[in-house]
Amino acid sequence: MEPISLRTPLALLLICLGAIAAVWWWLAAPITLARAPIDPAAKLMCVSYAPFRGDQTPLSPVARISEEQIAQDLAQLAKISDCVRTYSNENGLDQVPELAAKVGLKVIQGIWLSNNRLKNLAQISTAVRLTKEYPATITSLVVGNEVLLRGEMTSTDLAATIRLVKAQVAVPVTYADVWEFWLRYREVYEAVDFVTIHILPYWEDFPVRAKYAAAHVDAIRRRMAVAFPGKEILVGETGWPSEGRMRDAALPSRTNQARVVSEILDLAKRENFRVNLIEAYDQPWKRQLEGTVGGYWGLFDSVRRALKYPPGVAISNYPFWKLQMGSGMGLAVLAFAAAWLTLRRRPWTPRLVSWVAVGISATTAGILLGVAADKMFYESYGFGGWLLWGSLLAAATAAPVLCANALMSGRSLPTFLELLGPREYQNRSALTIILGLALIVTALIGAQSALGFVFDPRYKDFPFAALTMAVVPFAALALLNRPKEGMRPVAETVFAALFAGAAIYTAFNEGPDNWQSLWSCAAYLLLAITLWQARAVRTPE
Query: What pLDDT, in 10s, does the model give residues 351-379?
Result: 889 999 999 999 999 999 999 999 999 99
The pLDDT, as a whole number, for residue 2 is 45
Alpha carbons 235 and 267: distance in angstroms, whole number: 12
Residue-wise pLDDT for 243-295, tens only, equals 999 999 999 999 999 999 999 999 999 999 999 999 999 999 999 999 999 99
| Bond before 152 cis per omega within 30 degrees | no
User: Do both 66 and 12 map to the same domain?
Assistant: no
**398 has which bridge partners?**
none
Instruction: Report yes or no on 304 lying in a domain.
Output: no
Instruction: Report yes or no on 360 lying in a domain.
Output: yes
User: Do both 359 and 281 map to the same domain?
Assistant: no
- DSSP class per residue in 316-340: -S-TTHHHHHHHHHHHHHHHHHHHH
Instruction: Report yes or no on 233 lying in a domain.
Output: yes
Q: Kindly report the backbone phi and psi dihedral angles of residue 489, in degrees, each rounded to the nearest multiple of 5, phi listed first.
A: -65, 145
User: Do both 273 and 357 map to the same domain?
Assistant: no
Q: Are the beta carbons of 381 and 287 closer than 8 angstroms?
A: yes
Instruction: Report yes or no on 33 lying in a domain.
Output: no
% residues pLDDT > 90 (the chain): 86
CATH number at residue 207: 3.20.20.80
Alpha carbons 340 and 210: distance in angstroms, whole number: 46
The pLDDT, as a whole number, for residue 423 is 74
Q: Are the beta carbons of 375 and 461 closer than 8 angstroms?
A: yes
From 475, 479, 470, select the one nearest 351 (Cα to Cα).
Answer: 479
Number of domains in the chain: 2
Instruction: Report yes or no on 537 lying in a domain.
Output: no
Q: Are the beta carbons of 328 and 20 closer than 8 angstroms?
A: yes
From 130, 136, 134, 137, select the one nearest 107 (Cα to Cα).
Answer: 137
Residue-wise pLDDT for 130-160, tens only, equals 999 999 999 999 999 999 999 999 999 999 9
User: Do both 251 and 211 map to the same domain?
Assistant: yes
User: Do both 185 and 244 map to the same domain?
Assistant: yes
Mean pLDDT, residues 192-220 taken together: 97
User: Do both 254 and 372 map to the same domain?
Assistant: no
Asked if the model's pLDDT at residue 26 lies above 80, the reply is yes
484 vs 521, residue with greater confidence? 521
* Burial class of 524 by CB neighbour count within 10 A (0 to 12, 13 to 18, 19+): buried
Asked if the model's pLDDT at residue 102 lies above 60, the reply is yes
Of 295, 329, 344, at which residue does a domain stop?
Answer: 295
The conformation of residue 536, written as its DSSP 8-state character, comes to B
User: Do both 254 and 333 map to the same domain?
Assistant: no
Of 238, 264, 295, at which residue does a domain stop?
Answer: 295
User: Do both 238 and 110 map to the same domain?
Assistant: yes
User: Do both 279 and 343 map to the same domain?
Assistant: no
Instruction: Report yes or no on 272 lying in a domain.
Output: yes
Return the percent helix, strand and coil in the chain, to nearest 5.
Answer: 55, 10, 35
Alpha carbons 127 and 121: distance in angstroms, whole number: 10
Alpha carbons 511 and 135: distance in angstroms, whole number: 50
The pLDDT, as a whole number, for residue 536 is 78
User: Do both 145 and 226 map to the same domain?
Assistant: yes
User: Do both 139 and 7 map to the same domain?
Assistant: no
Rounded to the nearest angstrom, the gap between the alpha carbon of residue 454 and the centroid of all alpha carbons in its chain is 19
Instruction: Report yes or no on 434 lying in a domain.
Output: yes
Asked if the model's pLDDT at residue 345 lies above 80, the reply is no
Q: Are the beta carbons of 50 and 12 closer than 8 angstroms?
A: no
Give me the amino acid identity at 430.
Answer: A
% residues pLDDT > 70 (the chain): 97
Q: Rounded to 10 degrees, what is the CA torsion of 48, 53, 56, 59?
A: 20
pLDDT band at 539 (very low <50, low <70, confident <90, very high): low
Q: Rounded to 10 degrees, what is the CA torsion of 500, 506, 507, 512?
A: -170
Of 295, 328, 348, at which residue does a domain stop?
Answer: 295
Residue-wise pLDDT for 116-135, tens only, equals 999 999 999 999 999 999 99
State the average pLDDT for the chain. 94
User: Do both 66 and 18 map to the same domain?
Assistant: no
Instruction: Report yes or no on 139 lying in a domain.
Output: yes
Give the Å distances, CA to CA, from 127 to 180, 206, 218: 27, 36, 32
Domain range for 400 is 2-26+318-532
